[in-house]
Amino acid sequence: MGSFYLSTPIYYASGEPHLGHAYTTILADVLARYHRRAGDDVLFLTGTDDHGQKIQEVAEEQGLTPLELCDRMAERFQAAWDDLGISNDRFIRTTEPEHKAVVGALLERLYDNGFIYESEYVGWYSVGQERYFTEKEIGPDRVDPIAGGPVTKIREKNYFFKMSLFQDRLIEQIEKNPEWIVPATRRNEVLGFLNQPLEDLSISRPRSRIHWGIPIPWDPDQVTYVWVDALTNYVTASGAIDPEATKDRRGFGDPLPSRWPCDVHLMGKDIITTHAVYWPTLLMGANLALPRKILAHGWWVVGDTKMSKSLGNVVDPLALRDRFGTDAVRWYLMREMVTGQDASYTPERFLTRYDELRNIFGNLAHRTLSMIKRYRAGTVPAAPSGGLAVETAAAVAAYRRALDGYRLHEGFAAAMDLARAANGFVETQEPWALAREPEGADELDRTLATLARTLVVLACLFEPVMPARAAELGRRLGLANIPLFEELDGMDVSGRAVRVGTPLFPRVDLG
């Protein structure tokens, strides 16, 4: 039994959960469930990023304290994840005392290692918006992108992390480990980014301007600025650091027994740089191991424009849950998007994918259960069930190869292909014809046993992406639990009482 630790980013608590958050989180959930099914001890981490200026502002607008706003938003996120069937093991918040202490310990370690210095941050500040904007945000005209007001270049005291010192080590890490950043296109982009000299990273802000943050341990007039605070959550949750211990025993350099390093950090491609550059160099600076893999996925686009409220083109697949159910939406999101690439959402494609689910898989389950009920009084015959042995073994192998390689779409296609093969098996065997002739009884037994067994395999393969429907299928097959992969080979379904029930994926009348 292995161990598997995976994370989503912690989501910024200033706005409502949306498809971008949901996709990452569902992706993580599918991987977490897959690894549990493979027998791994899984730690699946998600949470919220509670600090920062934006939260300070939004809270003020709503007449709340920052923490009250964060409490409210954290609940929203957790409720959203409940609705989507997310099985996270831990929901971390950066306002947790433990996390704040770990951030402090990490900062002290970086400081003691000589990687932090005081300097001045120079940036484009908007007096109207009371905040800095990036070069990209202000554009060539150099106006604040929100109100169009003026921005001025100002300086303020900040602490900086000597990120530049780690540039060569980071490049070496990426070049020697081709699978460390996936997909390859993101890896290339990061390498391209590192082609230019790496600057040092500003990690604090004056408390006078932003009070809602974690104080710098040796200078209470400064608070941590986003990166150290947010990214460190991955280490906090791992248990590698004990901030209460004396400085040389906290776990840096010689990590405490823990889940660190993370097996995979998942995120959208928009924050690849923070995860593939800032975070690894911070870890290097603190003498901690690097995560084993960094996976940046693509975006859902409508037509050819990025999904955006401001564009008014939000057509949200999540809204389809009302009519089609959560599992169907999860299926669509995982099956349709090539893991890592962008994908375009259209209602037509959703319906195609739903029909696949309904007609190929749902119908296979329904016709199989119905035949067992009709021909064998609802009991799976005690007969050899190896009818689709070759196809099943191939499908399971292809599925596991694909999911191990983070090609989820491919794995689920392989599972669906097995369902197609099983439908073909039904046509070839013609159970209805066998049932008419007394001498067909044995063959009919073998056929039904094979189909029942195949459904168990399919329930196992589909469970990570469609946990509720897979569990329901398992119940109808008389199983207490859906088997793990290692249990599939010795699986015996004979003698089980099955229940037909209503279709797993019913026909949905539109309009």
> Cα(36)–Cα(33) distance, rounded to whole angstroms?
5
From the number of C-beta atoms within 10 Å of its C-beta (0-12, 13-18, 19+), residue 105 rates as buried
Could you say which of 193, 386, 389, 437 contacts RNA (CB under 7 A)?
A: 193
Could you say which of 135, 175, 221, 492 contacts RNA (CB under 7 A)?
A: 135
Interface with RNA, residue 270, by CB under 7 A: yes
Nearer to RNA, 1 or 510 (CB): 510
Q: Minimum distance from CB of 362 to RNA (Å)?
A: 2
Looking at 99-107, 255-263, 361-369, 397-405, which segment touches RNA (CB under 7 A)? 361-369
In contact, 296 and 181? CB cutoff 8 Å: yes
Identify the three-state secondary structure at position 92.
Answer: strand
Interface with RNA, residue 134, by CB under 7 A: yes
Answer left, alpha or beta for residue 195, where phi above 0 means left and psi between -120 and 50 means alpha: alpha
Query: Which of positions 51-90 make contact with RNA (CB under 7 A)?
Result: 52
CA neighbor of 240 nearest in space, from 264, 263, 262, 256: 256
Identify the three-state secondary structure at position 73.
Answer: helix
Interface with RNA, residue 172, by CB under 7 A: no
User: What is the residue type of 90?
Assistant: R
Binding residues for RNA, total number by CB under 7 A: 74
The residue behind tokens 């029909």 is: 355
Interface with RNA, residue 198, by CB under 7 A: yes
Q: Which tokens hold the place of 103? A: 């951030």
Interface with RNA, residue 424, by CB under 7 A: yes
Q: Where are the alpha helices (DSSP H) in 405-440?
A: 408-429, 431-436
Q: Minimum distance from CB of 2 to RNA (Å)?
A: 27
Could you say which of 89, 98, 156, 189 contacts RNA (CB under 7 A)?
A: 189
- Specify the DSSP class assigned to residue 477: T
Nearer to RNA, 3 or 305 (CB): 305
Nearer to RNA, 209 or 367 (CB): 367
Q: Which tokens hold the place of 404? A: 């191990």
CA neighbor of 12 nearest in space, from 50, 65, 61, 62: 50
User: Cβ neighbours of residue 343 under 8 Å, at least 6 residues apart?
Assistant: 298, 300, 301, 336, 337
Q: Minimum distance from CB of 55 to RNA (Å)?
A: 10
Interface with RNA, residue 362, by CB under 7 A: yes
Interface with RNA, residue 371, by CB under 7 A: yes
Q: Minimum distance from CB of 253 to RNA (Å)?
A: 25
> Cα(425)–Cα(457) distance, rounded to whole angstroms?
15
Could you say which of 93, 366, 376, 446 contacts RNA (CB under 7 A)?
A: 366
Interface with RNA, residue 507, by CB under 7 A: yes
In contact, 74 and 93? CB cutoff 8 Å: yes
Looking at 12-20, 38-46, 257-265, 385-393, which segment touches RNA (CB under 7 A)? 12-20
DSSP code string of 124-178: EEETTTTEEE-HHHHTTTTB-TTT--B-EEEEEEEEEE-GGGGHHHHHHHHHH-T
Q: Minimum distance from CB of 432 to RNA (Å)?
A: 4
> Cα(17)–Cα(20) distance, rounded to whole angstroms?
8
Could you say which of 65, 308, 313, 352 contacts RNA (CB under 7 A)?
A: 352
Could you say which of 175, 179, 199, 244 contacts RNA (CB under 7 A)?
A: 199
- Specify the DSSP class assigned to residue 3: E
Nearer to RNA, 65 or 119 (CB): 119
Could you say which of 29, 31, 49, 330 contacts RNA (CB under 7 A)?
A: 49
Looking at 286-294, 325-333, 349-357, 479-487, which segment touches RNA (CB under 7 A)? 349-357
Distances (CA, A) of 440 to 423, 444, 476: 19, 6, 26
Interface with RNA, residue 365, by CB under 7 A: yes
User: What is the residue type of 7?
Assistant: S
Interface with RNA, residue 310, by CB under 7 A: no
Q: Minimum distance from CB of 355 to RNA (Å)?
A: 6
Show the binding pattern over residues 322-341: x = contacts RNA (CB under 7 A), - = does not. Answer: ----------------x--x
Looking at 33-41, 99-107, 186-194, 287-295, which segment touches RNA (CB under 7 A)? 186-194
Interface with RNA, residue 207, by CB under 7 A: no
Nearer to RNA, 29 or 200 (CB): 200
Could you say which of 40, 71, 156, 430 contacts RNA (CB under 7 A)?
A: 430
Could you say which of 74, 101, 151, 201 contacts RNA (CB under 7 A)?
A: 201
Q: What long-range pairs does 398-406 form, CB within 8 A, spacing at least 24?
A: 399/461, 400/38, 400/485, 403/31, 403/34, 403/464, 406/31, 406/182, 406/264, 406/295, 406/339, 406/340
The residue behind tokens 């169009």 is: 148
Interface with RNA, residue 423, by CB under 7 A: yes
DSSP code string of 297-313: E--EEETTEE--TTTT-
Could you say which of 97, 197, 220, 312 contacts RNA (CB under 7 A)?
A: 197
Q: Minimum distance from CB of 192 to RNA (Å)?
A: 4
Q: Minimum distance from CB of 435 to RNA (Å)?
A: 7
Could you say which of 288, 380, 403, 504 contacts RNA (CB under 7 A)?
A: 504
